[in-house]
Amino acid sequence: MSSSQHSFRGSSPAIALAQRRSRFTYRNLTQMASYNTACPLRVVAHVDLDCFYAQAEMVRLGVPEDQPLAVQQWQGLIAVNYPARAYGIGRMCTATEARRLCPSLISQHVATWREGDDKWAYRPDAAENIATDKVSLDPYRLESRRILAVIKEHLPSHLQKVEKAGIDEVFLDLSAHVHAVLLERFPELADPPPHGDSSEPLPMPSISALDWQADALVDLDDDHAEFDDPDWDDVAILVASEIVRNIRAAIREKLRYTCAGGIARNKLLSKLGSAYKKPNQQTVIRNGAVRHFLSGFKFTKFRNLGGKLGEQVSQAFSTESVQELLAVSVEQLKLKLGDDTGVWVYNTLRGIDTSEVNPRTQIKSMLSAKSFRPSIGTVDQARGWLMIFVADIYARLVEEGVLENKRRPKTINLHHRHGTQTRSRQSPIPQGRFLDEETLLGLAKTLLNQIVQEGHIWPCSNLSLSVGGFEDGISGNMGIDGFLLKGDEAQALNIGPRARVEAEGSGLPHQAEKRRRMDDGGIQRFFTKKETPPSLGSSDSVLRENGGETLGRRCREVGSDGNDGVDGPSIPDEGAGAQANDQKTAAGGHPCARCGACLEDSEALQSHQDWHFAKDLQEKERGGLAFGNQTSVIAASPHSGPWKTGPAGPKRPGRPKKTEPGQQKLTFG
């Protein structure tokens, strides 16, 4: 990376430095290079786009930066830019309320698929056509990929560890990259340790002051002082901060997007950091500032502590405050929460998180669905929707590498609702030949015919199509050329028009972007954002499992905590959503017996229950997998790094075994 020695100033006299030793060892330095998650010099960044969909629309439409703009979905808002937030507009507002608050607001409706049309498009009348349209998030996915590509371009190819953690966010483990920069800038670090003993402390950094430039630098804890000489963890985080600043500048310059960054020693802290100062800023949390930084938070804002677990903890200890919970001993936590969870919570409150930044995010299944209001009543209508679902799913299969035969699904499911009755049919997807859009559509129609033959299936209030059982392709058996289909070849193989656009437009070989399994620490599988059941007015949904696109239904619809979007709104997770809805149930409405969500009317309740149904199907499909390894951290060991990992994951109370819920995302499009 480009050297910016100017960041380091005020070198201390070498003799004095030689006598002082770092808190870190040669072994710690080596651990950085291997992305050891227990390495005390680890550096992780989180980058999150500002008001992402809103920026995507601003860029697409060439809207001036100070123009208030919101992205509308039917009558609601799903993203609000910062100029519009200044008028008090947030995701809680309806489009009408928002225009009242700011008459000059541009309220751009998301693109939609339309019944009878085989492409998504931006349509001026989309908001009024909830019955015939289905939201398409493809434009944002495309931008998301371009942003990811810029990020990767700005990291050395052999030293990158990037996890796409949502449609507009990534985690970067910068440890190995920073390690390389440190060796370049401080050649003394390349010397062998005294006596060949890697547990020897490193020499102190040959600098005494760090120039943090304009970053939001979180104040140090009381027992640390700004005038203390920096140690290697500070220098590492400074270098990481430079890298992030460069990446943000590149995204800005090449694609015109602003984003926020958080730089710290792990995912937990870096994610809190990126949300700390928005828009267009980056926050650095040095190790010496962690306690101070965290003490001001409610722990329910922490990654993985927002849902049921957070709720359980706050009930058990009658507080949501990190500060207050710090007084609770690990024994007490274990007593109330179980051993693993207790230890995990104890560490999390102290900013300890050894979960991996994991570039592998393999999709397990994809679902495209629509609830009909009014219901549909003919086979032709249903077939029209199947075409849309297939186009929607196929576009994502292309992203997954289906054209290169890298990954493909094994099964296809159709789910149909008539009144209170739900039917579903599944069929295998023939393997051994190229999977195209027409094949999928043919299979979907066959499934529909099977349902139709049963009779008494109209009117239909919900249809959903899903593919699952993803498998890696057989590319290992053939030369790579056999699978990288160029535009013409794709055409010859009768790939649908949409897929061709994707294949050509985005440069297929680049699409070979690896989707890898996200096998983050077990706790994450429990507690990261889950899909939220659609509720009031939710008319269509796309269920994905990829640890990637994080697209929730608007909070207010499931009873949010009143988040107005100003401070980085969160998608309500299962727990929070259900809780809020429980409270609303008392006030009337149509409660869901499964999760307590309170729906506006019986139709909305039905759609919502369809969601549960589709979800259950998917769960069943994934069945066998159990919780993965869980990182539990508490003991310090000078040789294995300050933290050690253990195998068992915390048990989620009262829930059946579930696989990798951290990867499940629901897109209500």
Q: Which residues bind Ca ion (CB under 5 A)?
A: 48-49, 52, 166, 168-169
In sequence order, what E strands does 322-381 have?
Answer: 365-376
> How do beta strands 460-468 and 590-591 pair?
unpaired
- Closest distance between ligand TTP and the C-beta of residue 258, in Å? 9
Of 29, 58, 70, 78, the one binding ligand TTP (CB under 6 A) is 78
- Contact status, residue 341 vs residue 311, Cβ threshold 8 Å: no
Site track 80-109 with ligand TTP (rule: CB under 6 A), x = hit: -----------x------------------
Mark the segment that binds ligand TTP (CB under 6 A) among 10-18, 48-56, 126-134, 574-582.
Answer: 48-56
The site partner of 552 among Ca ion, ligand TTP, none (C-beta below 5 to 8 Å per kind) is ligand TTP
Q: Decide if residue 52 touches ligand TTP (CB under 6 A).
A: yes
Question: In Å, what is the CA distance from 654 to each residue of 166, 312, 651, 657?
Answer: 28, 12, 9, 10
How far apart CA 593 and CA 180 sit, in angstroms, is 55
Number of residues that bind ligand TTP (CB under 6 A): 20
- Closest distance between Ca ion and the C-beta of residue 308, in Å? 21
Pick between residue 133 and residue 169 the one whose CB is nearest to Ca ion: 169
How far apart CA 538 and CA 570 sit, in angstroms, is 18
Q: Decide if residue 51 touches ligand TTP (CB under 6 A).
A: yes
Pick between residue 79 and residue 447 the one whose CB is nearest to ligand TTP: 79
Pick between residue 52 and residue 344 the one whose CB is nearest to ligand TTP: 52
Of 41, 45, 47, 49, the one binding ligand TTP (CB under 6 A) is 49
The site partner of 554 among Ca ion, ligand TTP, none (C-beta below 5 to 8 Å per kind) is ligand TTP
Mark the segment that binds ligand TTP (CB under 6 A) among 29-37, 50-58, 263-271, 307-315.
Answer: 50-58
Q: What are the backbone dihedrals phi and psi of residue 375, each rounded to the nearest 5 degrees, phi first?
A: -65, 160
Residue in the block written with tokens 């010496």: 288
Q: What are the backbone dihedrals phi and psi of residue 409, each rounded to the nearest 5 degrees, phi first?
A: -80, 160
Q: Looking only at residues 566 through 595 of this chain, which bind ligand TTP when binding is defined by CB under 6 A? A: 568-569, 571
- Closest distance between ligand TTP and the C-beta of residue 365, in Å? 20
Pick between residue 111 and residue 633 the one whose CB is nearest to ligand TTP: 111
The site partner of 278 among ligand TTP, Ca ion, none (C-beta below 5 to 8 Å per kind) is ligand TTP
How far apart CA 297 and CA 271 sit, in angstroms, is 13
Q: Decide if residue 173 touches ligand TTP (CB under 6 A).
A: no
How far apart CA 268 and CA 274 sit, in angstroms, is 10
Of 115, 133, 138, 168, the one binding ligand TTP (CB under 6 A) is 168
Of 46, 185, 406, 554, the one binding ligand TTP (CB under 6 A) is 554
What does the DSSP 8-state code read for residue 518? -
- Contact status, residue 558 vs residue 532, Cβ threshold 8 Å: yes
Q: Decide if residue 170 touches ligand TTP (CB under 6 A).
A: no
- Closest distance between ligand TTP and the C-beta of residue 259, in Å? 8
Residue in the block written with tokens 């939001």: 216
What Rg do the C-alpha atoms of the chain give, in angstroms?
26
- Closest distance between Ca ion and the C-beta of residue 328, in Å? 31
How many residues in total does the chain contain?
669
- Contact status, residue 423 vs residue 447, Cβ threshold 8 Å: no
Q: Decide if residue 555 touches ligand TTP (CB under 6 A).
A: yes
Mark the segment that binds ligand TTP (CB under 6 A) among 128-136, 310-318, 476-484, 546-554.
Answer: 546-554
How far apart CA 521 and CA 158 sit, in angstroms, is 24
How far apart CA 91 and CA 569 sit, in angstroms, is 8
Residues in CB range of 327: below 8 A, 6 or more apart: none
Sign of CA dihedral 398, 399, 405, 409: negative
- Closest distance between ligand TTP and the C-beta of residue 599, in Å? 18
Q: What share of the chain is helix, strand, coil (3-state, %, to 5)?
A: 40, 20, 40
505-527: burial string, b at 16+ Cβ within 10 Å, e else: ebebeebbeebebbbbbbbbbbb
Pick between residue 415 and residue 554 the one whose CB is nearest to ligand TTP: 554
How far apart CA 627 and CA 204 sit, in angstroms, is 42
Nearest to 437 by CA among 379, 389, 487: 389
The site partner of 53 among Ca ion, ligand TTP, none (C-beta below 5 to 8 Å per kind) is ligand TTP
Pick between residue 140 and residue 483 the one whose CB is nearest to ligand TTP: 140
Pick between residue 127 and residue 162 the one whose CB is nearest to Ca ion: 162
Pick between residue 202 and residue 367 the one whose CB is nearest to ligand TTP: 367
Q: Is the peptide bond before 205 cis (omega within 30 degrees of 0)?
A: no
Pick between residue 310 and residue 568 the one whose CB is nearest to ligand TTP: 568
Q: Looking only at residues 604 through 623 of this chain, which bind ligand TTP when binding is defined by CB under 6 A? A: none
Return the number of other C-beta atoms located less than 10 Å from residue 439's C-beta: 17
The site partner of 558 among Ca ion, ligand TTP, none (C-beta below 5 to 8 Å per kind) is none
The site partner of 78 among Ca ion, ligand TTP, none (C-beta below 5 to 8 Å per kind) is ligand TTP
Site track 242-281 with ligand TTP (rule: CB under 6 A), x = hit: ------------------------------------xx--
- Closest distance between ligand TTP and the C-beta of residue 572, in Å? 7
Question: In Å, what is the CA distance from 215 to each residue of 5, 101, 222?
Answer: 17, 33, 21
How far apart CA 439 and CA 416 sit, in angstroms, is 20
Residue in the block written with tokens 């070498």: 14
- Closest distance between ligand TTP and the C-beta of residue 161, in Å? 21
Nearest to 241 by CA among 205, 213, 206: 213
Interface with ligand TTP (CB under 6 A): 48-53, 78-79, 91, 167-168, 278-279, 551-552, 554-555, 568-569, 571
